[in-house]
Amino acid sequence: MARTNGHVAKDTAASPNGHSTNGHTPNGHSANGQAPNGHGPIPNMRRAFSNLQRSAPSRYAHIVGWGMDVPELIITNADLEAVVETTDEWIRTRTGIHERRFANDRETVTTLGFEAARKALDRADMLPSEIDLIIVATSTPENFYPSTAARIQNMIGATHAGAFDLSAACAGFVYAVNMAAQAIRSGSIDKALVIGSEGMLAVAFEVTVKLLPKPQVARCIMASFADVRHAGNAVAAIIAAGIIPAGLEMMDKPMTAAVEGFVHAGYDLDAAAILLCESDGTPAEVEHEMLRMAAVLQASGATRIEASESEAHRLRFWSGRKNAFPASGRISPDYMCMDSTIPRKRLADMLIAIGEMETKHGLRCVNVFHAGDGNLHPLILFDANEPDQLHRAEAFGAEILEVSIRMGGTVTGEHGVGVEKLSSMCVQFSPAERAQMFAIKAAFDPAGGLNPGKVIPSLARCAEYGRMHVKRGLLAFPELPRF
């Protein structure tokens, strides 16, 4: 399903005192701070700036054209009544929807955006060559590169326009209009084309859920360890003892220092790593499980064990873990969050390996793990304004994923593959395994319209990543599309 609209906005300049708007001051002084009276540059600059302020035009943006385009195929509530157990009245009273549009193979976010833009330009009586800026608000682009805006720019022939996509979910179009208006008011552009274009690839007709009762009580243990290996072993020991905590998280010393300075959760800053272990259920169940967890932690070498005594105390323990990401943003201009999963018994090995990678790549890394299921979230700290740091951060992240695979793990635990981990998929899966993945996807998506270029790397992608042998400088299967 898709819907697209487009607006053309331009500036209007009003000069309230009748002065020219070409940047010259009305008294004949130049605007560069020089004046014919020779009283020096500073007073003259002030006078010139004051004159410019008085003579500057008041610019504002307004919409001069608009257009809309939607797919041709209409599916009404009555159509849905024929295929699923529902009624028009049930749908309308709960959603307000009485029909929806389904796109065919030729109707995409880009083509619908192009048609909306063309109609808006026609209504504004404006040529594409007059457009200075194109912004496309979309959370569902067909490709990340080139952007949807750049493709529409090429399709309409707006050869002088800058173009970029803006992804901000439901509010994206509003943000885009505001950005264009501000650019016009600032004087940096005169005319902008703003397009909102979205497409949904599927509709869920039925969802089966399981309802769980809210636990009567929940308590949390914070356990400190002087050695990361003892902390990692404690995680494995808890699961081996048949205890399934409601939550089992691990943070290393740099991460606890970052969050403690942010939320003051009461963490042990001398510990090499801490574990947060939570139990929930009935009061009797929680009391029994807390005693069992404390015994396992003590036997595993915990140097300090503190149990929450109130709900506020429990929430304070968790406030640090829940604010790990923003706390990292306070100590570094940028960070890259990785996501992989390894066997629980290798948690300490991974922390030690990441420490070695920090030295190798010259970057810091703070670590927080969903330790109970071996899911890692190392946060690589870097500054994108420094030359080569982003490249080193990406190489650091790729190495973490490859080490995870060698430890018997996988390249993702919960964040998925998308585009970022395509190359790492070449390491984890053989050509035969990837071919089978393609075959399964093709059975459900023969046209290749669902997330094209994502999740499953092509043979060519893996060859370019250096994981396949290329003989005599000749790339195998040159007919395959390159990433």
- CATH code that applies to domain 218-416: 3.40.462.10
How confident is residue 47, by pLDDT bands cut at 50, 70 and 90? low
Q: What is the structure's pLDDT at 4?
A: 60
pLDDT exceeds cutoff 60 at 52? no
Mean pLDDT, to the nearest integer, of 58-87?
Answer: 86
Domain locations in the chain as residue ranges: 2-8+62-71+107-199, 218-416, 424-473
Q: What is the structure's pLDDT at 123?
A: 92
Q: What is the structure's pLDDT at 10?
A: 59
Residue range 193-226, pLDDT digits in tens? 999 988 765 556 677 888 888 999 999 999 999 9
- Percentage of the chain beyond pLDDT 70 is 83
Question: What's the mean pLDDT when you consider all of the chain?
Answer: 83
pLDDT exceeds cutoff 80 at 51? no
Residue range 347-360, pLDDT digits in tens? 999 999 999 999 99
Candidates 420, 417, 325; CA nearest to 378 is 325
* Letter string b/e over residues 326-364, b meaning 16 or more CB atoms within 10 A of that residue's CB: ebbeebbebbbebbbbbebbbbbbbbebbeebbeebebe
The single residue listed with the structure tokens 């009283």 is 39
Q: What is the structure's pLDDT at 2?
A: 47
pLDDT exceeds cutoff 70 at 20? no
Q: What is the structure's pLDDT at 221?
A: 97
- CATH code that applies to domain 2-8+62-71+107-199: 3.40.47.10
For the ranges 92-96, 108-112, 129-133, which has the lowest average pLDDT? Answer: 92-96
How many Å is the Cα radius of gyration of the chain?
30
Mean pLDDT, to the nearest integer, of 406-411?
Answer: 93
Distance CA 475, CA 483 (A): 14
Which pair of tokens denotes residue 465?
């990543």
Q: Do domains 2-8+62-71+107-199 and 218-416 have the same CATH topology?
A: no
pLDDT exceeds cutoff 90 at 319? yes
For the ranges 152-161, 184-193, 416-425, which has the lowest average pLDDT? Answer: 416-425
Residue range 431-478, pLDDT digits in tens? 888 888 888 888 877 877 777 777 788 777 787 776 444 444 454 555
pTM of the model: 0.60
Helix (H, G, I), strand (E, B) or coil at 341: strand
98 or 255: which leads in pLDDT? 255
For the ranges 31-40, 189-198, 360-369, which has the lowest average pLDDT? Answer: 31-40
